[in-house]
Structure 1
Amino acid sequence: MLRKLTPYLLVLPLGAFILVFTYIPVLTSLNLSFREWDFLSPDMPFVGFENYALLLGSREFWNAARVTAIFAAVSVPLRLGLALIIANYLTRETLPSRLLRGALFLPAVTSTVSIAVVFSWVFSTDYGMMNGILGLVGIGKVHWMQEPALALGVLMFVNTWKQLGYDVVIYIAGLQAVPRELYDAAAVDGGRPLHVFRRVTLPLVMPTTYFLLVVSVIEAFQVFTLVNVMTKGGPAGGTDMLVNMLYRVGFVLFDIGTGSALAVLLFIFLVVLSLIKSQVIGKKVHYEA
């Protein structure tokens, strides 16, 4: 009996940790989404789907959903495309390649707050380095953080710069798993580099691409620190994303019920989106692999 129970006893601490810090908070958030609570009052009256109806009828919510969707739709393909191209040139086991891998990966483990503060200075209208460079070539000051479209573009650039190294490292692992015999056979057949990349490399790294696509989309929909530090959701709501709105509603306005409802909606949306990707891309990926 003890021998049979030993594996379960070994995973019990981790199971308890996941239960306390994952499942219980999720269920608590689901319960709070059906209630009205201001963080201080002991009363939490049940209001049913009122919080959800308030969100779905709010222009602010749909604006945040639109901005988040645009951010994910533009930044994720850009990141993955750049990462695959760079990784294809850094698969060689040479000293320069190893140094470049480390340099690219460094932003991924750097504090997001520090990165956001530095790039706030870089894109400052009056004393930013970017406008200083543009001034040297005769271009006037650009109001990077005062125009909604430009501010969102800056966030996409900074997020891509931060996460690119992680994607490159994962792609390098995927590329190194491709059998070299296939490249040798393609070279013997006279395949050109672009043709080999399209016909050999791309299909065989599709499992890696699928993994990175799922992880990157979830990360893009949960971007918060960059927005909170650099733009606060402005200007004019042009960078107000769902998690930033959740923070504002729940922890600034202390409307815990509506904030919890927003968290539940975001969770449902990401689950549905992941299932769609699994059905549309996942089967083909595993077939190709």
Structure 2
Amino acid sequence: MPRKLTPYLLVLPLMTFIAVFTYIPIVTSLDLSVRQWDFMSAEKPFVGLDNYMILFNSHPFWNSLRVTAIFAFISVPLRLALALVLANALTRETFARRILRGALFLPYVTSTVSIAVVFSWVFSTDFGMMNGLLGLFGIDKVRWMQSPELALGVLIFINTWKQLGYDVIIYIAGLQAIPQELYDAAAVDGGKRMHVFRRVTFPLVMPTTYFLLVISVIEAFQVFTLVNVMTEGGPAGATDLIVNRLYEIGFTLFDIGQGSALAVLLFILLVALAVFKSRVLGKRVHYEA
């Protein structure tokens, strides 16, 4: 009996941790999403689907969903395209390439709050470095973070710069796993560089692309710190990403029921996106691999 229980005892601490910080919060959120609670009241009256109906009839909710979709569907393809190009250039092992890999990966492990504070100064209207550089060419000051047309683009740029190093490292691992014999055979057949990339490299790196696509979309739909530190959802809701909207509802307005309902909707949305990508790309990925 002790020998049979040993595997379960070994995984018990991890399973307890996952249960306390993942499964229990999920169940609690589901319960709170159908109740009305403001953090202070002892009572949590059952309101059914009212919290969900309020969200569906709320303009800020639909605006945050639209902004998040724009953010994700611009930043994710941009990240993956840049990462694949850089990884292809940095695959070979040299001292200079190792230094460049480390430089690219450094922003990923740097505190997001620190990055947000630094870039708040960089894109400051009055004394920012970007406007200082533009001033050298006689260009007037640009209101980067005060313009609804530019603020989201700035956040996309910063998030892409921060996450790019991780994507590059994963792509390098995928590229290094491709057998060299395939490139040698393509060279013997007279294949040009772009032809080899399209016919050999890209198809064989599709499983890596699929993995990065899934986690990148999930990450893009969960961006919060950059928004909270730099814009707080402004100007005029132009950067009000969905997790920032959840924070505003739950921890600024103290409407925990509606905030939990939004968290449940976000969870359902991410699961639906993952299933959709699996259905659309799954067969192609496994076929190409």
SS of corresponding position for 1:65: helix
Identity of aligned residues (%): 76
Cα offset, 1:7, TM superposition: 1.1
Q: Distance in 2 between matches of 1:279 and 1:217?
A: 16
Cα offset, 1:5, TM superposition: 1.8
Q: Please list every run of 5 or more consecutive structure 2 residues that lacks an aligned counterpart in the other structure.
A: none
Q: What are the within-5 Å matches in structure 2 for residues 128-277 of structure 1? A: 128-277=128-277
Which amino acid counterpart does residue 16 of structure 2 have in structure 1? A
Residue in structure 1 matched with residue 19 of structure 2 by the alignment: 19
Q: Distance in 1 between matches of 2:267 and 2:207?
A: 24
Over the residues paired in the alignment, what is the CA RMSD in angstroms?
A: 0.6
Q: Distance in 2 between matches of 1:128 and 1:9?
A: 56
Residue in structure 1 matched with residue 69 of structure 2 by the alignment: 69
Cα offset, 1:3, TM superposition: 2.0
Q: Deviations over 1:141-182 (max 9, x none)?
A: 111111112000000000000000000000000000000000
Which amino acid counterpart does residue 242 of structure 1 have in structure 2? I
SS of corresponding position for 1:38: coil
Q: Distance in 2 between matches of 1:129 and 1:18?
A: 44
Which amino acid counterpart does residue 281 of structure 1 have in structure 2? L
Residue in structure 1 matched with residue 127 of structure 2 by the alignment: 127
Q: Distance in 2 between matches of 1:134 and 1:181?
A: 49
Residue in structure 2 matched with residue 103 of structure 1 by the alignment: 103
Q: Deviations over 1:185-207 (max 9, x none)?
A: 11111111111111100000000
Cα offset, 1:9, TM superposition: 1.3
Runs of 4+ in 1 over 3 A off after TM superposition: none
Q: Distance in 2 between matches of 1:121 and 1:272?
A: 38
Q: Distance in 2 between matches of 1:101 and 1:185?
A: 29
Residue in structure 2 matched with residue 32 of structure 1 by the alignment: 32
Residue in structure 2 matched with residue 112 of structure 1 by the alignment: 112
Q: Please list every run of 5 or more consecutive structure 1 residues that lacks an aligned counterpart in the other structure.
A: none
Cα offset, 1:280, TM superposition: 0.1
SS of corresponding position for 1:13: helix
Q: Distance in 1 between matches of 2:111 and 2:18?
A: 25
TM-score scaled by length of structure 2:
0.99
Cα offset, 1:4, TM superposition: 2.0
TM-score scaled by length of structure 1:
0.99
SS of corresponding position for 2:270: helix
SS of corresponding position for 2:238: coil
